[in-house]
Amino acid sequence: MAVDVLVTGGAGFIGSNLVRRLVANGRGVRVLDDLSTGCLANLQGLEAGLDFMEGDIRDRAAVERGLAGIRDVFHVAALASVERSVRDPLGTHAVNVDGTLGLLAASRDASVDRFVFSSSSSVYGDTPTLPKHEGMTPAPLSPYAVQKLAGECYCGVFCRLYGLKTFVLRYFNVFGPRQDPHSQYSAVIPLFIAALREGRAPVIHGDGRQTRDFTYVDDVVAANLACLGAPETAAGEVYNVACGNRISVSELAGTLCRIMDARVEPVHDEPRPGDVRDSQGSNARARQALDWTAEMPFEEGLRKTVAFFAKEGSP
């Protein structure tokens, strides 16, 4: 099978779920990943039908090798943590901005057709307007959010200036199987699941009334694939990938306790710098332009995630 799709960060949480769907759909997939946050266990069972390259997206030579014969690029690789960017703005900038710009330039030179960029709802900041929509002025609160916004702007410029058909997807609080609960920068759902499985109290940063628009990873994968079939007029734009609902972190903890039959009360810690108070996204533009909408109900997605970790463990 000819390899014609590149997924950067394909050994990570979102990337590996995307890779599995692409392979199941019969696409020839190459993964470029330096394994700094992803792991090969996420790709277990795909070895025979997958072209894996260990490499850094900041390495131009590795990127050029990865793009050989490629038609479509899904750029998922990132140091995806607000907290990490606050601690290390220069290091995260090098990956999230310099790495993205280098990949865009190399994709242009390799005559790539479609380039799908994984961005983040964090670019909106803590604006009080809900739901957040793509016409709002971004107001990033963290280096990570600034870095993702810079990547979005570069994607728009490369579409308008060079004709590279770029699609920017702003993810809202993605969760699901293969999300790593062991990193200090892990998202709240895998951290809560890991704590409850081990009989520990989940830690809530802040008062717990902050809200999030949790989006199941299969819906995120479907949004990525929708960009391949979207009309060319949809290129060069930004799209929210969100359910359009929101739930508080305290409600999340309570729901997980019920699903997992846990009798543990959460404990509260200081709020984390750079975190937004409330997040909820409108997916109207994605419905219209990409023919995409989120389909997984929140609690069903939680049950699937809990079941995955109960059966498979974590990387």
Per-residue pLDDT tens digits for 82-94: 899 999 999 999 9
Residue carrying the six token digits 């865009």: 104
pLDDT at 315: 47
Residues in the chain: 315
CATH fourth-level superfamily of 5-177+214-244+282-296: NAD(P)-binding Rossmann-like Domain (3.40.50.720)
The packing angle between helices 99-109 and 143-162, to 10°, is: 20
* Residue 289 Rama label (left phi>0; alpha psi -120 to 50; beta): alpha
Whole-structure pTM value: 0.94
Within 8 A by CB and 6+ apart from 257, the residues are 196, 263, 264
Euclidean distance between CA atoms 61 and 67, whole angstroms: 10
pLDDT at 256: 94
Taking CA atoms, 315 is separated from 11, 37, 49, 242, 280, in Å, by 11, 10, 21, 26, 30
Q: What residues of the chain score a pLDDT lower than 50? A: 315
The per-residue pLDDT for range 172-220, each reduced to its tens digit, is 999 999 998 776 556 889 999 999 999 999 899 999 999 999 999 999 9
